[in-house]
Chains A and B, each alone.
Chain A
C-alpha cells in the first residue's frame, strides 16, 4: 500500500517579511514527498489553525525572524488543541535564541530549528515524529 503523503502547512505568523526560509523549505518538503501548503505572510494564529483544519494537515511549520516566536508559537499550539487538532506536529524555525527553546517545547512545539540547520535534519525530524491520525 502506498504510504500516505505527509501534509504540512508552512506559515509565517505576524508581520515579519523574511520568507526565504519558509519558501526554501516549502520546496525541500515537496521534494521530500510531502504535500505542502505555504500560507504566505501576515498570518494570525487563527488563520494558521484554520488552514491546518481545512487542509487536514499533519504538520504545521512556523517561521519567525522578528522575535515574536514566544508570543505566536504557543498561541498556535493552544488554538490547535482547542480545535481538537492536538495530534498535529508543530515545529518552528528562524532567529530564535537557544535559551527560549525549553519554554517553547514545554508549550508544545516539538522542535525548533535555528539558523544553519541542514534541511535533511528538518525533513528527518518531521518524518520520524509525525503522528498517525
Chain B
C-alpha cells in the first residue's frame, strides 16, 4: 500500500521522533508500566505505515462481501439491515420463558435464543437425581415435545429465527423444534435458526458433554448432514469461541482454538462424504466481545481472513459462502463485575461498539446484573437498548469496517492472524484438534492465560474498576431474579403424568428402533424425530445413547 521511498522516509521519521520528541517527553514523565492489550499483547506508543508495511490492500483487505472477507461478509453490512438482536433467555418453566420471549419480541428483539437448563443440556430429565437443585435455574426446564410446544406458544416459527444452545443433546432438541414447527404448519425448509451443536468446546471448557468424542462427533455430523438435506436455512452448528474466552483465553487463542475446532468439524463432514460446498455455507460461529475495543475489532477481522484462507486453500471450497465466517457474538460475561454493577452497562456498551465495528451477524448483550444472578427484566431491557443505541446512534453502522486502515488496528489484525496460524500449525503437528484436546494442550493453554490474567489483577499490574481500583463500600443488591425450587417439584409431577399418558407401545418401539439405528452408520435424525413424537423425553433418548456409546469421563488438566 506504501511505496518503498515513502516507507523509508516514515521509518526515518519515526526513529527521529522516538529519539527526539518522544524521548524528551519520557525523560520528564516516564511511563509507569509496559502497555499491553487486555489479552497482554505488548503495544507500542505509536503505529505508522512502517509497522504495516506488508499491507497489500487488494489481497489482505479487499472489499466487503468478497474474499478474503477481512472487511465483512456482506457488501454493505449494516447499511442494509442491522444485525439480529438476539437475547439468550430462559429460566424456570417453559411457560415463564415463553412470556419473556414474547416480551422481548414486543420490545424490538428480532430473533430468539433459547437457554435450556443444565439437565436438558446434559441429557437428564428434570426428575433425575443429578438434576436435583438445577431445574429451571440457568435456563428453561425442557424435557419433552410438550414443553417445546409451550415454549413457542403463539410464536410463529416461520417468522422468527431461533438459536438453541444445546450441544451433546442437540439432535433431540432440534427434532422437537422441527416437530412443533410442523404442528404449526411450518415446513422444514421454512425454518431459520442456529443450533450450537459444538461438542468439542464442551470437552475443552464448557462441561456439558455426555458421550466420548468419537460418537458425539458422529451425532454432530448426523445433524449437519440432515439439515443440509432437509432444513437448508438452518445453521447446523455454531462453532464457539465464546466459552473458550470466558474460560480465560486471550483474544487470539479464542479465535485459534475455535478455528481449530472448525477444521475438525469440516474434516468430519468431509469424511462423511459431504462435499465442502454443501456443508461449509452452514457452518456458523460464536464469539465473545471484551472491553478492549480495538483488540476485539482486530480479532474479528483476523478470524474472517483466516477462515476464508483455510476454506479455500485447505478444504478447496469454491462457493464463496463456504469461505464466509458468519458469527454471533455475546458480550463478555466474565468481564462483568459484581462490584458496582451499574458500571457493567458501560462495559457492555463498549463491547457492543467493538462488535459492531468488527462486523458481526447477530448479538446478545449481557445484562448488568449477571455477575449476581440471571438477568431481571429491567436489566435485559437496558441490554437490548444498548444494542439499539449503538445501531441507531453511534455511527458505527453507517459505513463498512470503519477502522480499516488504522495503522494500529491493521497491525493487530496481522498479529492475531499470525498467532492463529501458529496455533493451527502446532495443533496439526500434534495430529489434529481431537488429539490436542485429548492431550490437554488446548485446555492448558487457556488455563495458563487465565492464571496470568488473575496474577495481573491480584498484583494490581492491571486495573479493574471496582475490583482492584476505585473500590467502595456498597449495600448488597436486592430484587434479584430467583427461580423457585418449586419448579423442580412441579416438573417432577408433570413428567410422571407425561409418561403415564403417552402410548407406551409406540414409545418403546421408537426407542428400540433408535437403539438399533444408533449401532449402525445410518443417520439418527429421522429416528430421533420419531422418538420425540412418540413422547420420548430428552433423558430417555440420551440414555439410549449412554448405553450404546458410553459416557465421557474427562481427564482433568490443571496447568
Contact = CB atoms under 8 A, between A and B. Distances in A.
Nearest to B454: A24
A71 B122 CA distance: 19
A66 B208 CA distance: 13
B96 to A, nearest CB: 15
A20 B132 CA distance: 23
A131 interface: no
Contacts of A36: 558
A24 B450 contact: yes
Contact of B554 (A40, A99, A119): A40
B377 to A, nearest CB: 17
Contacts of A72: 133
A15 B130 contact: yes
A42 B168 CA distance: 15
Nearest to B373: A97
A67 B483 contact: yes
Interface in B519-559: 554, 556, 558-559
A115 B447 contact: no
A125 to B, nearest CB: 15
A1 interface: no
B372 A97 contact: yes
B454 A18 contact: no
A2 interface: no
B138 interface: yes
Interface in B100-115: none
Nearest to A120: B458
A114 B134 contact: no
A115 B454 CA distance: 12
B133 A114 contact: no
A95 B137 CA distance: 12
Nearest to B118: A15
B451 interface: yes
Interface of A: 14-20, 23-24, 26-28, 30, 36, 38, 40-42, 44, 66-68, 71-72, 95, 97-99, 114-116, 118-120
* Complex A-B, nearest 3 residue pairs according to Cβ-Cβ distance, in ascending order: A17-B207, A71-B133, A98-B476
Interface of B: 118-119, 121-122, 124, 129-134, 137-138, 202, 205-208, 246-248, 334, 337-339, 371-374, 447, 450-451, 454, 457-458, 464, 466-468, 476-478, 480, 483, 485, 554, 556, 558-559
Given A24-B447, A30-B558, 14 more contacts: A14-B118, A16-B118, A17-B206, A17-B207, A20-B447, A23-B558, A26-B558, A41-B207, A66-B137, A68-B133, A68-B134, A116-B467, A118-B458, A118-B468
9 contacts: A15-B122, A16-B118, A20-B246, A20-B247, A71-B485, A95-B372, A95-B373, A97-B477, A118-B468
